[in-house]
Chain A
Amino acid sequence: MEHLSPAEIEAIVMGAEPADEPVRRHMSECPVCAERLEREARLEEALHEGALANSAVRSVRVGAEAWRVVLPAAATLVIVAAGAWLATSRNREVALVVPMSAAPAMMHDEPRQDAPGLRDPMSFAPGYVVIAPSDYCRWVVAPAE
């Protein structure tokens, strides 16, 4: 049998066609073809590794490209959110300044809790003894002769 053709060796190495019996016999007897098969298998191995590394690199690239899209979007969102927050906080400050037109209505509606005279005097100084109103009256009313 003549030496195997490059196509035959490639077919064996690529697994495209199983080697038949005469080819196997020749391969075991012919050191030249055995060496060619070894060389082609080394190339096949390099291609497998290249494909594996390529897919790993591509998945990293896809991840990086996804970040390239996600990061600007996130930055835009942050800017928009910050702008919205600033705008609403400015409105809040404005709302704290009560317009003069609204002030009387507010004051008349409900008296403030810290208005003088409305709080329980006992709460100023717990334990403080308030002089009973009857004692004040004692000095106001002229004593009976």
Chain B
Amino acid sequence: MSCGTGDCRQCSDAELAALALAGHALAWDEIVRRHGHRVVVSLLARGIALDVAEELTQETWLRLVQQQRAGRLRSLELPGLAVAQACWLAREAGRTRARREALAGRVLSPEVGPHERVTDPSVDPEWQTMQRERLEVVMREIDRCPARAREVFRTVYGERAPSHAEVARDLGMSVQRVRQILCEVRARVRAVLGEMEGEDERWSI
């Protein structure tokens, strides 16, 4: 293992998972740094408000650490496990709120709240097929990007999740240039996803 008790930033995800399962606090810190934002984004993509998404993400990490300390965590597949845990917490929060409202005798809104929209995708084959097609389109478009843009994209979205400043330093460019390249890649991917689904509105901001 390349990282002992020192700098966990150099560890691969598999090494970090092994250390975290052994109860290494610094490994947990690094896991939260790498995957925390990814979990927040997953909740935002399911319609959860930013503040709630951040709270649920904190709760997710707490639960995972508690599970590990109780010896109930056998493996740590990240970010999948954290995303699944966060979505489950979001669903539970939605159900609890609905129960409280029902007990309080309030009339439930016919409109479905964002928490209720957080569904388990593994049970929906149509969603999975769409997801696969979307993934292929995204990968193809990333491959079509210029070499420098691909390099920046792969470094930023890579396993070690470096900050934009770190990427800029490593690749010898300014932070503004890194962000500009990322925005160009996003614009290309947004356009092809809009074309694929025939709904440009769905992916535009």
Pair B50/A24 contact, Cβ less than 8 Å: yes
Kindly state the separation between the CA atoms of A45 and B133 in the bound complex, as whole angstroms.
Answer: 14
Tell whether B16 is near chain A: CB-to-CB under 8 Å: no
Chain B residue contacts of A34, Cβ below 8 A: 49
Interface-side segment among A8-16, A84-92, A112-120, A129-137: A8-16
Tell whether A65 is near chain B: CB-to-CB under 8 Å: no
Tell whether A6 is near chain B: CB-to-CB under 8 Å: yes
Interface size class of B (residues with CB under 8 A): 35 or more
A10-B183, A54-B154 given as contacts; is B38 within 8 A of A48 (CB)? yes
A32, chain B: closest CB distance, angstroms = 11
A127, chain B: closest CB distance, angstroms = 74
Q: Is the interface of A mostly helix, strand, loop or mixed?
A: helix
Tell whether A51 is near chain B: CB-to-CB under 8 Å: yes
Q: 1/0 per residue A7-32: CB within 8 Å of B?
A: 00110111110010000100110000
Kindly state the separation between the CA atoms of A9 and B185 in the bound complex, as whole angstroms.
Answer: 16
A39-B202, A46-B193 given as contacts; is B135 within 8 A of A53 (CB)? yes
Selected contact of B142 from candidates A9, A24, A43, A54, CB within 8 Å: A54
B residues 131-146 in Cβ contact with A at 8 Å: 131, 134-135, 138-139, 142-143
Selected contact of A27 from candidates B50, B139, B158, B183, CB within 8 Å: B50
Chain B residue contacts of A12, Cβ below 8 A: 50
Chain B residue contacts of A37, Cβ below 8 A: 44, 50
Tell whether B91 is near chain A: CB-to-CB under 8 Å: no
B79, chain A: closest CB distance, angstroms = 8
Chain A residue contacts of B179, Cβ below 8 A: 14, 16
A6-B205, A55-B154 given as contacts; is B42 within 8 A of A45 (CB)? yes
Q: List 27 A-B contacts (CB under 8 A).
A: A10-B186, A14-B182, A16-B179, A19-B50, A28-B50, A37-B44, A38-B44, A38-B46, A38-B47, A39-B203, A39-B204, A39-B205, A42-B45, A42-B203, A43-B193, A45-B41, A45-B45, A46-B193, A47-B153, A47-B185, A47-B189, A50-B139, A50-B142, A51-B142, A51-B154, A54-B142, A55-B159
Task: Name the 5 nearest CB pairs between A and B, nearest first.
Answer: A51-B157, A41-B44, A50-B138, A41-B45, A15-B37
Partner-A contacts on B (CB < 8 A): 37-38, 40-42, 44-47, 49-51, 131, 134-135, 138-139, 142-143, 153-154, 157-159, 164, 179, 182-183, 185-186, 189-190, 193, 202-205
